[in-house]
Structure 1
Amino acid sequence: MSDVLTVSAVALATTALLMTATALAANRLGRVAVVDVAWGLGFVLVAATSSVVGVLTDGDAVRRWLVLAMVGLWGLRLAWHIRRRAVGHGEDPRYEEVLGGSLREAGMGVAVRKVFVVQGLALWFISLPVQVGAVSDVWSWTVVLAGVALWLLGLVFETVGDAQLAAYKADPDRAPVMDHGLWRYTRHPNYFGDACVWWGVWLAAGLGSGWLPGLLTVLAPVAMTYFLVFATGARLLERTMRQRPGYPAYAARTSMFLPLPPRG
């Protein structure tokens, strides 16, 4: 238990330092959306610092570095993708809605309270399976490998979905709505992929450490899925997407989250 408390405290401190640096960068740039880049990097940093703490314990070394690789590949890819997509663009409309206006209008205090503290705590909480797995022995390698398989499915799903969307945006003769490839079966393949990644991480690092660690950390992937679907993800994005020509009809025939055959 002392090892878990230690790694959790280190993860919380790491998250606090990262969000402080991100808030300072946002104040300088005038854009709260820089926190989206820090989101993926934050999980990588927590996984890395947790692994360092884990070296000092009796936890399973192979699984520790495996989970670090899983989180690292996902987080670095996500940060790179969001950074590339954000170049040349202004504030994300979702954050303007959360703040009630631009960063200049709302003020840095509101941004810290509504965005940086919330996302920092969410990052720390969702990474709990990673923290526990870094200092624990493996209970079942079957469960760990099942988690790796689900993680891989999610990573492929969001990577392919992002590539298909980028190709669509680069096509000057594109249709009003992207409804091909993975986007034919779900309106948010990248969010679905993210959810699979974190359920896979929970299997590999949380439940793979035993029933008790699994039960104590299962709310982490639940929280990630909630954010992706209801809080800062699909539902919030669709408020603006539904204003586009053709999108309501696309939404009527396409599953919002889970990949399913088109209706009608």
Structure 2
Amino acid sequence: MGSITTSTHNNLKNAVIAFLVPLPSILFYLTFLRHFNDHRDNIDSLSPLWKWCFDHPLLLAHVLFFFNVNVLFWLIGTIQSSHWMIDPYWTVIPVLLVHYYASHPLGHEYNVWRSRILILLTWVWSIRLSHNYFRRENWQWGAREDWRFTDMKQQYGKCWWWVSFFAVYLSQQVFLMGICMPMYAVHLENKQMNIWDFIGVAICLSGIVIAYYADTQLYEFVSRNSKLRELDEPVVPNLDKGLWRYSRHPNYFGEQLWWWGLVILAWNLGHGWMFVGALTNTLCLAYVTVLVENRMLKQDYRAEAYRLYQKRTSVWIPWFTSSTGEKDKNS
């Protein structure tokens, strides 16, 4: 009974922290907008601080990210000995950024419909990913941190308290701000929508749908195995049904489609160089894929099955099953 009460208390505490933690950035930005509206007719009369915020929307976003996410999240994570909060906020920060770019006074001349579609898509993507996160965590706030952070904590030992600032948070600024750059591009240009916008939107939607079904199939697979363990029955060593029959990581593939769909929107607006953010994220995810697969191969009950799965199934891009793996399986 006591453990249940403690768990409920921690869950409530972490939920409150998660809802309060972005308030410094939000309140600062709302204060800036209020000062701007008071001096709208004479921008030069703004104080140096608010004038700088007006002239440098991208730098302001980076500054807010640095202090509110990197510093504040890191301090909270260090105190709690768990850097769990960056995971749920990975799905929230893009929503905050797209509304920030859409509302910043310097970006007022843009195609409204393109902006609205992008905002709607970002909300759908965020709700989908947030739902998957909390479903996987049994609807708990901060029950555990990412296993990669736990592994790094053991690797760095006493140095982890300061290494975590760079490994967990500063790196996230590079990735998140980079892949969200197309959201900035959409609110820079007033170009009429064309066929490339619809292609980009279609790719984004396809990515959301694929990732949703892949994550749902994975969740159901893990849930079934958990029930089998409770019954002390043999578990299924590997998921190779549904989308997972054609790709070893269809959820990763869907997620990449989302970000590269945004790149098409930016390219169509003359900011093709913004592909760098998506490319960096893709390369990082390729490395994560290697880590995940190595972790699978270290689990004795599934190692052999997973090796066969690797031989016959595409890594990311869904493709037909290779007959090589089937022959090895039947031999």
**If the length of structure 1 is used for normalisation, what is the TM-score?**
0.87
Q: For the residues of structure 1 that align with 2:55 and 2:318, how far apart are their CA atoms? A: 38
| Aligned partners of 1:157 and 1:189 also within 8 Å | yes
Matched, 1:25 2:76: yes
Q: Which residue of 2 aligns with 1:95?
A: 149
- Give the drift of 1:50: 0.8
State which of 274, 290, 294 in structure 2 corresponds to 1:235.
290
Rounded Cα–Cα distance in structure 1 between residues aligned with 2:115 and 2:53: 14
C-alpha contact 1:158 1:190 (8 A) present in aligned 2 = yes
Query: Please, which of 94, 101, 118 is the counterpart of residue 50 of structure 1?
Result: 101
Structure 2 distance, partners of 1:3, 1:202, is 26
Q: Which residue number in structure 1 is paired with residue 115 of structure 2?
A: 64
Pairwise CA distance, 1:140: 4.6
After the TM superposition, which residues 29-178 of structure 1 pair with which residues of structure 2 at under 5 Å, given as runs?
29-53=80-104, 56-87=107-138, 90-101=144-155, 105-138=158-191, 140-171=193-224, 172-173=227-228, 175-178=236-239
Percentage of pairs with the same residue: 23
Change in Cα spacing, 1:13 to 1:137, as seen in structure 2 (3 Å) is same
CA contact (8 A) 2:107 2:187 kept: no
Question: 1:99: Cα distance to partner?
Answer: 4.4
Q: Which residue of 1 aligns with 2:319?
A: 260
Q: Would you say the 8 A contact 2:54–2:106 is kept in 1?
A: no
> Secondary structure of the residue that 1:78 maps to in structure 2?
helix
Equivalent residue number for residue 256 of structure 2: 195
Distance 1:46 1:83, change over 3 A: same
What one-letter code is carried by the residue in structure 2 that aligns with 1:197? W
Which residue of 2 is the match for residue 250 of structure 1? 309
The more displaced of 107-116 and 144-153 is: 107-116
Number of equivalenced pairs: 256
Q: In 2, distance between residues paired with 1:73 and 1:32?
A: 26
Q: Deviations over 1:73-128 (max 9, x none)?
A: 212322332233235754433223444538x7443211002220111122111111
Q: CA, structure 1 residues 218+257, in 2 after alignment: closer, same or farther (shift >3 Å)?
A: same
The Cα shift of 1:22 comes to 2.5
Query: Corresponding residue for 1:9?
Result: 59
Residue 92 of structure 2 aligns to a residue whose secondary structure is helix
Q: Tell me by how many angstroms 1:30 deviates.
A: 2.0
**1:208 CA drift (Å):** 2.6
User: Is it true that 1:183 corresponds to 2:236 in the alignment?
Assistant: no
Q: Is 1:208 aligned to 2:265, yes or no?
A: no
CA contact (8 A) 2:69 2:169 kept: no
Residues 3 and 135 in structure 1, CA contact (< 8 A), matched pair in contact too: no
Distance 1:5 1:188, change over 3 A: farther
How many Å separate the matches in 2 of 1:92 and 1:6?
34
Return the alpha-carbon distance in structure 1 between the equivalents of residues 179 and 60 of structure 2.
15
| Structure-2-length-normalised TM-score | 0.70
Q: Deviations over 1:221-245 (max 9, x none)?
A: 2122112222xx3122112112232
Larger CA deviation: 243-252 vs 185-194: 243-252
**CA 1:42–1:175: 2 relative to 1, 3 Å:** same
**Unpaired runs of at least 5, structure 1:** none
Contact 1:60-1:137 within 8 A present in 2 as well: yes
What SS does the aligned partner of 1:218 have? Answer: helix
- The question of whether the paired residues in 2 share the 8 Å contact of 1:129 and 1:220 is answered with no
Deviates more, 1:39-48 or 1:10-19: 10-19
Measure, in 2, the Cα distance between the counterparts of 1:196 and 1:5: 33
Task: Report the structure number with the largest CA radius of gyration.
Answer: 2
The answer to which structure, 1 or 2, has the higher relative contact order (CA under 8 A, 6+ apart) is 1
User: SS in structure 2 opposite 1:50?
Assistant: helix
Give structure 2 stretches of 5+ with no counterpart: 1-51, 229-234, 324-331
Q: Secondary structure at the match of 1:150?
A: helix
